[in-house]
DNA sequence: CCCTGATTCGC
DNA sequence: GCGAATCAGG
């Protein structure tokens, strides 16, 4: 893959929105996060500070005081970040890019991708599996929607309409959207579902 | 371990 | 210009 105008544009857009290099890489496809980062630097649109807030979980600015790298020795590192001139008082803290509106006004839509959340309905599920879940939920990482990744259990817990709502977040089972315990209640073998009829 | 961005340097 | 390898850190 090469950096066509379209791809560069998407890169700029996503980077501007605070997306991580790896997320951008996945979106673009055919490139690694390294490639994305490299491109970002070459484009000179490194520091994401345009008066906008982090927008995402992690979006800090790293500072390199002087870490002695084994290979290169002399590294001219003058001004890390100028940003002096510009008398612009501009008190407005939130510029509003006018395009990023991930979450509309909606009430509380649950999350996710596609097959997700069947809350355990207390019945129809093997007692063992239920016990397991209840046990695991205590150890859950209680992630917010934004914190979910491909490797975190996406099992929702609690009432979305309440503050007491979170996602399990434990390590998922290979290829599944949930952790082991939740996979247990999410994927019922047809056989065991039968005769459990109340 | 998972992840983040930053930098270097051979291609 | 590109990006893997590496570094530094959360």
Residue with tokens 């649109």: A45
Residues of chain A with pLDDT under 50: 49-106, 110, 114, 116-117, 120-122, 198
The DSSP call for residue A184 is H
Question: Residue A37: what are its φ and ψ, rounded to 5°?
Answer: -60, -40
Q: Which residue is nearest to nucleotide C5 (CA to C1')?
A: A34
Stated pTM of the model? 0.43
Residue nearest to nucleotide C6 (CA to C1'): A69
CA A142, A146, A147, A150 dihedral sign is positive
Q: What is the pLDDT of residue A66?
A: 36
Nearest nucleotide (C1') to alpha carbon of A36: C3
* Cβ-contact A84, A39 below 8 angstroms: no
Residue nearest to nucleotide C4 (CA to C1'): A34
Å from the A88 CA to the C7 C1': 37
């Amino acid at each position: 893959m090469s950096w066509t105008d379209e791809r560069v544009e998407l890169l700029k857009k996503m980077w501007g929105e605070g997306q991580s290099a790896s997320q951008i890489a996945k979106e673009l496809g055919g490139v690694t996060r390294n490639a994305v980062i490299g491109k970002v630097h070459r484009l000179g649109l490194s520091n994401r500070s345009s008066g906008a807030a982090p927008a995402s979980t992690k979006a800090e600015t790293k500072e390199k005081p002087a870490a002695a790298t084994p290979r290169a020795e002399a590294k001219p590192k003058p001004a890390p970040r100028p940003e002096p001139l510009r008398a612009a008082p501009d008190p407005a803290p939130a510029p509003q890019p006018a395009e990023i509106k991930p979450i509309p006004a909606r009430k509380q839509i649950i999350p996710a991708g596609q097959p997700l959340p069947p809350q355990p309905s207390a019945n129809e599920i093997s007692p063992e599996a239920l016990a397991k879940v209840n046990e695991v939920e205590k150890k859950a990482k209680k992630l917010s929607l934004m914190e979910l990744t491909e490797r975190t259990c996406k099992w929702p817990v609690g009432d979305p309409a309440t503050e007491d709502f979170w996602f399990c977040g434990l390590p998922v089972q290979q290829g599944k959207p949930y952790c082991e315990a939740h996979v247990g209640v999410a994927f019922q073998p047809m056989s065991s579902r039968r005769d459990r009829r109340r």
